[in-house]
Amino acid sequence: MLKLYLDTSTIVKRYVTETGTQTVDIIFDKAEAGELTIAFSLWNIGEALGVLDERRRRKWLTQEEFAQTLKNLADELLKLMRLRTLETILIHTPILTETWNLILNYHIYEADALQITTCIHSQSNALISSDKKLVESSRKTGLKAFHVTKDEEKIKALIKL
């Protein structure tokens, strides 16, 4: 079965409407239908919470919208776990230490290097992100990577829409 690794920018698009949300919705709908597996790390969940909290702090989300968004996130993640179409990757020392070479060789932030190493460890077929630099760095390491908006048609072809 196809397995797609989603970085934090992609996960957030599921719960906050912005450019790329429609493509992310298709991915999550396919996972709910049992047609593909989504993978991301526990780090991504924490990072997504930080992004949502920042949106609340800046008043881009009301307190009610923030609470509903957190509920939607938790409910959906639990549902996909029960359906066995969500794989959450634990971050252990070997994954963290593997980021060091990526940081030094590709001159990227540790968070981006962590996305790449976690994607590799999850044995996902592709990494999906809205971070241009992360997509480019992922491709340099040999990963198949797609930008959620710029590669929308390629993503749809990959998931056979």
Domains of the chain: 3-158 (3.40.50.1010)
Q: Please give the backbone phi and psi of residue 38, each rounded to the nearest 5 degrees, phi first.
A: -100, 140
**19: phi > 0 → left, psi -120 to 50 → alpha, else beta; which?**
beta
Going by the DSSP 8-state scheme, the letter that residue 60 receives in this structure is: S
What three-state secondary structure class fits 55?
A: helix
Share of the chain above pLDDT 90, in %: 99
Q: For position 112, what pLDDT does the model report?
A: 94
Nearest Cα neighbor of 16 from 54, 38, 35 is 54
Sign of the alpha-carbon dihedral angle for 153, 48, 119, 114: positive
128-148 confidence digits (pLDDT tens): 999 999 999 999 999 999 999
25-79 confidence digits (pLDDT tens): 999 999 999 999 999 999 999 999 999 999 999 999 999 999 999 999 999 999 9
> Above 80 in pLDDT, residue 161?
no
Q: Please give the backbone phi and psi of residue 63, each rounded to the nearest 5 degrees, phi first.
A: -60, -40
Q: For position 100, what pLDDT does the model report?
A: 96
Alpha helices by DSSP H, listed for 58-109, are 63-82, 93-106
Can you give the pTM of this predicted structure? 0.94
